[in-house]
Amino acid sequence: MEAAENAVVAEETEVPSKPERRRFSAEYKLKILREADACTKRGEIGALLRREGLYSSHLVDWRRARDSGLAPKKRGPAAKEPNPLAKRVAELEREAARWKARAEQAEGLVAVQKKVAELLGHKLDEKDEQN
């Protein structure tokens, strides 16, 4: 029985190889700052920090960010601003594709006309073949 209890205690007290970094939401930070600002008696801020498991440096950093009006930084890659010309480029590419399709259709019609003229025995003038 004692070995089982020791295994449970060891399992509970084992420290992970890499501690997980704590992250605090903006609402939580503001709540703690309001509570710290409301502390008037000696030792109240220390009790607040112990209760929440925080360090005084947290308060210093959070107050500095609040006073400078900085919003918390979002994690991850920076959002790319859309290129103002991207919409115009896409529009021009669609228009170019439409004109290309129309040109191919016209070339096909000219080829059919040449074949029909050949079958009927009509000789096309040189200026007609150039157009």
Q: What local confidence, expressed as pLDDT, does residue 47 receive?
A: 94
What is 8-66 written as a DSSP string?
A: HHHHHHPPPSSPPPP---HHHHHHHHHHHHH--STTHHHHHHHHHT--HHHHHHHHHHH
Give the tens place of pLDDT for each residue, 52-72: 999 999 999 999 988 887 666
pTM exceeding 0.75: no
114 and 124 in contact (C-beta within 8 Å)? Answer: yes
3-state helix, strand and coil shares in percent for the chain, rounded to the nearest 5: 65, 0, 35
All residue ranges of the chain with pLDDT < 50 are none
Distances (CA, A) of 93 to 47, 97, 107: 66, 6, 21
Q: What is the mean pLDDT of the chain?
A: 83
